[in-house]
Amino acid sequence: MESRMSRLIRLCNGKSMPLVGLGTWQMTNPQQDQLALEQALNVGYRHVDTAYKYENEELVGNAMKKWVDAGKGKREDLFVVTKLPWIGMQADKVDHFINLSLSKLQTEYIDLYLVHWPFGMNYRGDDNVAPKKDNGDLDLDLTTDLLAVWKAMERQVDAGKAKAIGISNFNSQQIERVMKIARVQPANLQVNDVKCNYYNLNGDAILHFLILKMYSLLWQVELHTYFQQTELRQTCKKYGITVTAYGPLGSPGRGNAKERYIPALMEDKLVVSLASKYNKTPSQVLLRYLTQLDITVIPKSSNLTRMSQNLNIFDFELTPDELDEMTKLDKGEDGRSFREFPSAKIHPEYPFPY
Identify the pLDDT of residue 217.
61
116 is in an annotated binding site: yes
Residues spanned by the domain of 189: 8-259+295-301+333-344
Residue 15 lies in a domain: yes
Low-confidence ranges of the chain (pLDDT < 50): 1-5, 186-216, 254-258
CATH of the domain at 116: 3.20.20.100
Identify the pLDDT of residue 138.
93
Identify the pLDDT of residue 252.
62
> How do 165-168 and 140-141 pair as beta strands?
unpaired
Instruction: Kindly list the strands in the beta sheet with 112-115, ordered across the sheet, starting from the edge strand earlier in the chain.
Output: 22-23, 47-49, 79-84, 112-115, 165-168, 217-222, 242-246, 296-297
User: Residue 157: how many CB atoms within 10 A of its CB?
Assistant: 18
Residue 14 lies in a domain: yes
- Of the residues 52, 54, 109, 226, only one is catalytic, namely 54
Identify the pLDDT of residue 189.
21
> Which tens digits make up the pLDDT trace of 48-98?
999 999 999 999 999 999 999 999 999 999 999 999 999 999 999 999 999
Residue 324 lies in a domain: no
Residue 181 lies in a domain: yes
- Is 56 within 8 Å of 28 (Cβ atoms)? yes
Nearest CA to 112 out of 250, 16, 23, 247 is that of 16
Residue 55 lies in a domain: yes
Instruction: Kindly list the strands in the beta sheet with 206-215, ordered across the sheet, starting from the edge strand earlier in the chain.
Output: 16-18, 8-11, 206-215, 194-199
Count the domains in the chain: 1
Q: Is 109 tagged catalytic?
A: no
Identify the pLDDT of residue 262.
65
Residue 265 lies in a domain: no
User: Residue 49: how many CB atoms within 10 A of its CB?
Assistant: 26
> Which tens digits make up the pLDDT trace of 86-98?
999 999 999 999 9
Report which DSSP code applies to 332: G
Residue 34 lies in a domain: yes
Identify the pLDDT of residue 353.
74
Residue 279 lies in a domain: no
> Which tens digits make up the pLDDT trace of 250-262?
866 544 444 556 6
Identify the pLDDT of residue 187.
26
Identify the pLDDT of residue 12.
60
